[in-house]
Chain A
Amino acid sequence: MARLNINGKTVDVNAEPDTPLLWVIREQVGLTGTKYGCGIAQCGACSVHINGNVVRSCGMPLSSVSATDRIVTIEGLSPTSSHPVQKAWAELDVPQCGYCQSGQIMAAASLLGKTANPTDAQIDEAMTNICRCGTYQRIRAAVHLAAGNKSAATSIEEQFQIKA
């Protein structure tokens, strides 16, 4: 039995100490917004926050997390889906299949928590999660939009031109 603090709530879970936090979150706690993608901390679909830092939960055993660590999953980012990152993602219609987007949003929220107005280079550095649909251009624009950097945030209308 282990005690966790997830999304501000104390949760007791019954899992072996070597169980990856990802599977504790998904199968014991029942929060499935955090996704399995690779199991080797490569793709970032499993990204959550621990004490404000983004971590890849598939590579983190339960034993490495203590009851005082504040774990935040996508479900806990905002009670009303109104975190600036979520709003920017909605504004720019970022997701395609959406499977990686929980992780992308958690990575972006962590970045903005540390760097309020990141440059493109800082976005490159921080946003290393895989999106197989290729939403990267909109992710970049949405991070800028969430940071309030409207000149760098390409709008939907600026994503294309029509030459009839």
Chain B
Amino acid sequence: MRTKTTGHAPDLSRRRFMLTTAAAGGGLALGLNLPFGPAATRAQASVGTTPEVNAWVVIQPDDVVIVRVARSEMGQGTMTGLAQLVAEELECKWSNVRAEMVTPGQNLARKRVWGDMATGGSRGIRGSEDYVRRGGAAARIMLLQAAADEWKVPVGELAVSDGVIRHAASNRSTTYGKVAAAAAKLTPPDPKTIKLKDPKSWKIAGKPVKRLDTAPKLNGSKVYAIDLKLPGMLNAAVKQCEVFGGKLVSFDEAKISNMPGVRRAVKVDDATVAVLADTWWHAKKALDALPIKWDEGESANVTSAQIAEHLKTGLTSNDAFADTSVGDVQKALAAAPKKVEAVYSTPFLSHATMEPMNCTAKVSADRAEAWVPTQNGEQALAALSEISGIPLAQCEVYKMDPGGGFGRRVTIPDYVRMATSIAKQMPGIPIKMIWSREEDQTHCFYRPISQCRLQGGIDENGNLTALQIRVSGQSINAFSNPGAIKAGKDQRQLQGLWKEPGDAQFGYSVPNLSIEYAMRNTHVPVGPWRGVNTNQNAVYIECFLDECAKAAGKDPLEFRRALMKSHPKHLGVLNAVAQAAGWGKPLPNGVYRGIAQHMGYASYSAAVAEVSVSSKGEVKIHRLVVATDSGHYVNPNQIAAQVDGAVAMGLSAAFHNEITIDKGRVVETNYDKYPVLRLREMPKVESVLAPTYDFWGGVGEPTICVISPAVMNAIFAATGKPVHSLPMKNMKLV
């Protein structure tokens, strides 16, 4: 286990950057000519000339193990987690492990030997654990065989640990580094014949090892895409029409051509203009001074109030799609002695990654390259090829670790297209395009806005006998993936309320249950935002259940438990959080608890919040206990970090954040109007792992959805007044 981070920890992304920089500038092409192509089945190792053992593993003569990673690393720790899984099966020494990102072009050239590179939906680990473990195990088998061949002994007589191979009978030993070259020449075993370790016996995976990528983040040496410097590079600042759907009519380049450093103003696409200059600051200043004419189009007068009215029609309309329909809800509601009804709403939200959208591209007659902070390298490669017109095989994308992703950089490569379009107009010149914060905030793919009407019927014994959930709001699929909507049924917006087990199942059994979605689209672009639709839907169901519990005169935990007998895993994590938080035990005067659970990304999450609310309505969160069952777990240190992140982002959304629309455009243009949670507001977080070791669930996204409802329910307990609308800055809580 790695016990300390040294100043010499690997920074392979930087190394790759240096190689490719050289290639771009002087034709050295070191980085680009690594023999990854199918003709050369053995790739060159990163340092020196060591051949790979297989696609996942390179072992240098000095026993340094380079693990190849295909998924993106934007802070969520996947790179370290995947390296742990490979190292576990490889049986190497963890302190010798380095990680290296592969490129989309290499993956394409090798018939996608590294599988899917997209990093979204909390699939980085769960979507690749099986084949990366098999990759590590296959390398181990080959290394042992190479030693056995050298010593002319049966491989079954060898033992290995920490990368040292021993033959007890002859008292001989060697290391992986010494046999790697011979191993590389062997025929790999059939992956299907490999028996993987029982996760309960893991020594490297499952342990809270430190991240492999920390050191360069502490001294300014890590190169993010925004930091790139390429020879001859120009910087681009861009402006898109502020109204979504509007068009660029014209711009007056002559008015800025004498400004310092300015080279060109160019049309990027139908709605975007760019200014190119020697520095980004010069480009930005000139862009601000550039006279631009826009056709703002039909949405130029849309307001948030109009959007809210539009959504409201979906709460009672006849055009909804019923995803779940059990019993007879209307009849049961009518017959129920107690009825509860509420309408909730949640706003559009932007991701507000700390590193704004940016991309560097270089397009020549027969080659296109892009340096992209992306969650989806292969999609970026496709966009580069599409916009440049250069065939895929002559394109390459160098993935730069993004300064935050949260779903912004996974679905639509808008910023890659823009940089490529600019670079195509400036052949041979690398173009670094950076969006200002204002551009980033006003041209996001926002978390979709929605409202929800819920009705509950409660019998004489305080049991929930009927529940109707009607979600009305914008559809992500309608915006970016209409093919996923079958016969008008867009199930995705009901994520977390699904009847099917496995990914985001509704955790309650109610004898009369109706769960419906009415699509109400707007002109605002929408997309996945950490946790996607579980965020809104968890608020709706979990807060409403507390309203029902109160009406029934029941404790919120007991009220839930009565509905969860057929959902043991949902119940298990709920019980784990209740126990860890000491649910039911006395609290200091004025402090109240709230609880919530939800499922998403195949994992189960639950939270208990302890809050107090002052007479002025100021909320203090004293403690948050958060439990997660992700089935297996790879790094508890990183899971705890992801839970912290879910709390911070969840509380930002709960209290502060909304994207509103006026005159068809976004009002909250920077962090002053979109205040992200700061340190002084961060509560104490206790992270509880409650693994059941029988499935692989995600980690990055599942937790965030339970943070808001747990806090909202604690506020409800404190004030007696349910919170129906987010963010809470707009609410009078007392």
Task: Kindly state the separation between the CA atoms of A69 and B690 in the bound complex, as whole angstroms.
Answer: 54
Task: Kindly state the separation between the CA atoms of A157 and B1 in the bound complex, as whole angstroms.
Answer: 14
- Nearest CB to that of B222 among chain A residues? A98
- Nearest CB to that of B636 among chain A residues? A160
Which residues 127-162 in A have Cβ within 8 Å of B in the complex? 127-140, 156-157, 159-162
Given the known interface contacts A90-B214, A101-B217, the answer about A132 and B406 at a Cβ–Cβ threshold of 8 Å is: yes
By the criterion CB–CB under 8 Å, are B218 and A101 in contact?
A: yes
Out of B219, B401, B636, which one reaches A77, CB within 8 Å? B219
Given the known interface contacts A81-B219, A128-B679, the answer about A133 and B637 at a Cβ–Cβ threshold of 8 Å is: no
Binary flags per residue of B207-232, CB closer than 8 Å to A gives 1, else 0: 01011011111111111101101000
For A32, A129, A138, the residue with the greatest tally of chain B CB atoms inside 10 Å of its CB is: A32
Give the size range of A's interface with the partner: 35 or more
User: A-B pairs with CB below 8 Å: how many?
Assistant: 225
By the criterion CB–CB under 8 Å, are A98 and B403 in contact?
A: yes
By the criterion CB–CB under 8 Å, are B218 and A105 in contact?
A: yes
Out of B220, B353, B645, B685, which one reaches A34, CB within 8 Å? B220
A112 contacts partner chain B, Cβ-Cβ < 8 Å: no
- Nearest CB to that of B218 among chain A residues? A86
The smallest beta-carbon distance between A92 and chain B, in angstroms, is 9
Task: Kindly state the separation between the CA atoms of A35 and B227 in the bound complex, as whole angstroms.
Answer: 9
The smallest beta-carbon distance between B230 and chain A, in angstroms, is 13
Task: Kindly state the separation between the CA atoms of A97 and B215 in the bound complex, as whole angstroms.
Answer: 12
Q: Which residues of the partner chain B approach A43 to less than 8 Å between Cβ atoms?
A: 354, 671, 676
Q: Which residues of the partner chain A approach B693 to less than 8 Å between Cβ atoms?
A: 164
By the criterion CB–CB under 8 Å, are B645 and A93 in contact?
A: no
Binary flags per residue of A1-36, CB closer than 8 Å to B gives 1, else 0: 000000000000001100110010011101111111
B647 contacts partner chain A, Cβ-Cβ < 8 Å: yes
Binary flags per residue of B711-723, CB closer than 8 Å to A gives 1, else 0: 0000000000000
Which residues 1-37 in B have Cβ within 8 Å of A in the complex? 4-5, 7
- Nearest CB to that of A90 among chain B residues? B5
By the criterion CB–CB under 8 Å, are B210 and A33 in contact?
A: no
By the criterion CB–CB under 8 Å, are A93 and B222 in contact?
A: no
A42 contacts partner chain B, Cβ-Cβ < 8 Å: yes
- Nearest CB to that of A77 among chain B residues? B219
A38 contacts partner chain B, Cβ-Cβ < 8 Å: yes
The smallest beta-carbon distance between B158 and chain A, in angstroms, is 33
User: Is the contact region of chain A dominated by helix, strand, or loop, or is it mixed?
Assistant: loop
Task: Kindly state the separation between the CA atoms of A74 and B395 in the bound complex, as whole angstroms.
Answer: 35
A100 contacts partner chain B, Cβ-Cβ < 8 Å: yes
By the criterion CB–CB under 8 Å, are B220 and A33 in contact?
A: yes
By the criterion CB–CB under 8 Å, are A157 and B208 in contact?
A: yes
By the criterion CB–CB under 8 Å, are A124 and B211 in contact?
A: no
Task: Kindly state the separation between the CA atoms of A62 and B670 in the bound complex, as whole angstroms.
Answer: 23
B689 contacts partner chain A, Cβ-Cβ < 8 Å: yes
Say which one of B74-82, B306-314, B585-593 lies at the interface with A.
Answer: B74-82
By the criterion CB–CB under 8 Å, are B75 and A95 in contact?
A: yes
- Nearest CB to that of B200 among chain A residues? A164
By the criterion CB–CB under 8 Å, are A30 and B215 in contact?
A: no
By the criterion CB–CB under 8 Å, are A137 and B218 in contact?
A: no
By the criterion CB–CB under 8 Å, are A74 and B354 in contact?
A: no
The smallest beta-carbon distance between A58 and chain B, in angstroms, is 10
By the criterion CB–CB under 8 Å, are B354 and A73 in contact?
A: no
The smallest beta-carbon distance between A27 and chain B, in angstroms, is 4
By the criterion CB–CB under 8 Å, are A128 and B678 in contact?
A: yes
- Nearest CB to that of B217 among chain A residues? A98
Q: Which residues of the partner chain B approach A19 to less than 8 Å between Cβ atoms?
A: 281
Binary flags per residue of A65-84, CB closer than 8 Å to B gives 1, else 0: 00000000111011011100
- Nearest CB to that of B642 among chain A residues? A96
B672 contacts partner chain A, Cβ-Cβ < 8 Å: yes
Task: Kindly state the separation between the CA atoms of A157 and B640 in the bound complex, as whole angstroms.
Answer: 10
By the criterion CB–CB under 8 Å, are A20 and B281 in contact?
A: yes
Interface residues of B (CB under 8 A from A): 4-5, 7, 74-77, 208, 210-211, 213-224, 226-227, 229, 235, 260, 279-281, 351-356, 401-406, 434, 436-437, 576, 579-580, 627, 636-637, 639-641, 643-649, 670-672, 676-680, 682, 684-691, 693
A-B contact pairs, 10 of them (CB 8 A): A38-B437, A40-B670, A95-B211, A95-B218, A98-B401, A100-B403, A134-B645, A135-B644, A138-B644, A163-B579
Instruction: Sort A-B residue pairs by CB-CB distance and give the 8 closest, nearest first.
Output: A33-B220, A134-B648, A99-B403, A97-B75, A98-B217, A96-B75, A32-B227, A124-B680
Contacts A99-B404, A134-B646 aside, 4 further interface pairs with beta carbons under 8 A come to A34-B220, A97-B354, A127-B678, A164-B691
